[in-house]
Amino acid sequence: MLLSTTHEMTVANDGMIETFTRVRDVSRAEVIREICHHLEPYQNGEQPIVGDTVIAKDLTIDSLAIMDMVMELEDRFDVSIPMSVIAEIHTVNQLADTILDLSASN
């Protein structure tokens, strides 16, 4: 839903870049919130999950569970992340940026 809104706003607005940047900022927080929500069950002790958290190292999640989480995020934000791209993603920030980049290019 978020992304169709983004798309419509971008198309409908003349000041496209400005609109896009603004919407993108909002979306980024939303995307990160969603990622953190999915990662919560794998939190390592009291260590908080932040943008720089290295998903496979700092948390107790295994590679298969990462790929399953990515599938959920794909459907939530209506993007597809190729497996080769997933392999290059290390941090929460990188995952969020990948989702935002892909949704922007849709």
Partner 1 sequence: MGLFDRHAGLLEAYRDVRTTGYDPFQIRMERVLSPTEAIINGRKTLLVGTNNYFGLTFDPSCMEAAIEAIRAEGTGTTGSRIANGSYSEHVALEKEIAAFYGKKHCMVFTTGYQANLGIIATLAGPDDFLLIDADSHASIYDACKMTQAEVVRFKHNDPKSLEARLRRLGDKPGNRVVVLEGIYSMLGDSAPLREFVDVCKKHGAYVLIDEAHSLGALGEHGRGLCEATGVIDDCHFIVGTFSKTLGAIGGYCVSDDPDFDILRVTVRAYMFTASLPPSIVASVRQALRVVQAKPELRTQLWNNVATLYDGLKAQGFILGPEHGPVVGVHLPDRMTAIGFWRAMLDAGIYVNVAVPPATPNGVSLLRCSLCAVHTREQLEHMVEVMTGIGRQFGVLPSQPELRVAGARS
Question: Which residues sit at the interface with partner 1, rule CB under 8 A?
Answer: 62-65, 67-68, 71, 74-75, 78-84, 106
For partner 1, give the closer residue by CB, 36 or 65: 65
- Minimum distance, C-beta of residue 82 to partner 1, in the bound complex (Å): 4
State both tokens at 32.
Answer: 């990160």
Question: Which residues pair with residue 54 across a beta bridge?
Answer: 91
Secondary structure of residue 42 in the 3-state scheme: helix
- Minimum distance, C-beta of residue 18 to partner 1, in the bound complex (Å): 26
Q: 89: how many CB neighbours lie within 10 A of its CB? A: 20
- Minimum distance, C-beta of residue 57 to partner 1, in the bound complex (Å): 12
For partner 1, give the closer residue by CB, 21 or 80: 80
For partner 1, give the closer residue by CB, 39 or 81: 81
**CA of 47: how far to CAs of 70, 71, 89, 93, in Å?**
22, 25, 20, 17
